[in-house]
Amino acid sequence: MQLRPFKIRCSAIAQIMTNPVKKTDLLSKTTISYLEKWVKEEIYSRTQDISSKYMDKGNECEDSAIEYAAGIMGWDFAEKNEQFFKDEHFTGTPDLLVGDTVEDIKCSWDCFTFPLFDTELPNKDYRYQLLGYMALTGKQSGGINYCLMDASVELIESEARRQSYARGEGGEVSVDLYDEMSAKMTYSHFPSKLLHKRFEVVRDDETIQAIRDRVELCRKYINETILTAIK
């Protein structure tokens, strides 16, 4: 069975970099599971649907978060990038291309998941994602922008219904319950320093090359191990 060459989505780079960068001859169980899923998607022409309330908020608030971050950072004419990039090893669609930087937007679910006090990027997975985008676009630096945005009416209603079931109220959403959830899920009345935080990521060509090497190793594993098992 012949499949197209494996390439890694920038948002999934961390799935194949779970072992130390220099140990390129090793693949972790996490990486192997990811590769097996990728092969299934290729064979069956299907994609696995994954959703959560956290992802729903990120998708619903992305445009408003981009506008908000652009206003704070002074990015003139910042619009969501729609261009899909690919090269020999990477694929991806960065959120924003601003001058010589590539910017990514992360919408926090609530104030408790917003990295208010962090001084370093709290999720190393996002660093890999930005490095992939830099490799694709030629940018020399980038930023991860955490934004704490108001939830949409639909998301507030959904969370209120969830709370209603949890309280034994059968999914009925009273005005009081909706108002309670709305108060918990809206933040626009707070100052911007409490709603936006940017972490800079500097281009690292050594790590980018290590990711490319890992992609090659993944290709070898797919061809010599995974596909062999179904011949």
pLDDT at 173: 94
The length of the chain, given as a count of residues: 231
- If you average pLDDT over residues 193-205, what whole number do you get? 97
- At residue 160, the pLDDT reads 96
Q: What is the CA radius of gyration of the chain?
A: 20
The tens digit of pLDDT for each residue in 120-161 reads: 999 999 999 999 999 999 999 999 999 999 999 999 999 999
Q: How confident is the model at residue 166 (pLDDT cuts 50, 70, 90)?
A: very high
Within a domain: 2: no
Burial class (CB in 10 A: 0-12, 13-18, 19+), 24: middle
72-81 contacts, C-beta under 8 A, 24 or more apart: 72/192, 72/196, 73/98, 73/145, 73/198, 75/103
The pLDDT value given to residue 32:
95
pLDDT of 20 above 70? no
What pLDDT sits at residue 23? 53
Residue 1 lies in a domain: no
Claim to verify: residue 39 and residue 107 sit in the same structural domain: no
The answer on pLDDT for 104 being more than 80 is yes
| Same structural domain, 103 and 44 | no
What residue spans of the chain are helical by DSSP H?
13-16, 29-44, 53-73, 124-137, 153-166, 175-185, 205-221
pLDDT digits (tens, 9 = 90+) for 128-139: 999 999 999 999
The pTM of the full predicted model, rounded to 2 decimals, is 0.91
131 in a structural domain: yes
What pLDDT sits at residue 85? 98
Is 161 found in the same domain as 77?
yes
Residue 231 pLDDT class (50, 70, 90 cuts)? confident
Q: Considering its fold, how many domains does the chain have in total?
A: 2
Clarify whether residues 23 and 136 are in a common domain.
Answer: no
pLDDT tens string 47-85: 988 889 999 999 999 999 999 999 999 998 778 999 999
Q: What is the pLDDT of residue 50?
A: 84
pLDDT grade for 24, boundaries at 50, 70 and 90: low
The answer to whether residue 2 scores a pLDDT higher than 90 is: no
39 with 84, same domain? no
Domain membership flag for residue 22: yes
Does 19 reside within a domain?
A: yes
- How confident is the model over 99-108, as a mean pLDDT? 95
SS3 107: strand
User: Distance between CA 109 and CA 58 in Å, rounded?
Assistant: 8
Nearest one of 100, 105, 82 to 92, comparing CA atoms = 82
Mark whether 64 and 128 lie in a shared domain. yes
What average pLDDT does this structure show over 195-214?
A: 97
Instruction: Quote the tokens at residue 125.
Output: 């997975």
| pLDDT-above-90 percentage for the chain | 87
CB of 178 within 8 A of CB of 164?
no
Instruction: Identify the domain containing residue 89 by its residue range.
Output: 55-205
Judgement on whether residues 170 and 137 belong to the same structural domain of the protein = yes
Same domain flag for 80 and 164: yes
Q: 103 with 142, same domain?
A: yes
Between these two residues, 1 and 105, which has the higher pLDDT value? 105
Q: Same domain, yes or no, for 113 and 200?
A: yes
Q: For residue 165, what are the contacts with CB-CB under 8 A and spacing of at least 6?
A: 171
Helix (H, G, I), strand (E, B) or coil at 219: helix
CATH code (residue 65): 3.90.320.10
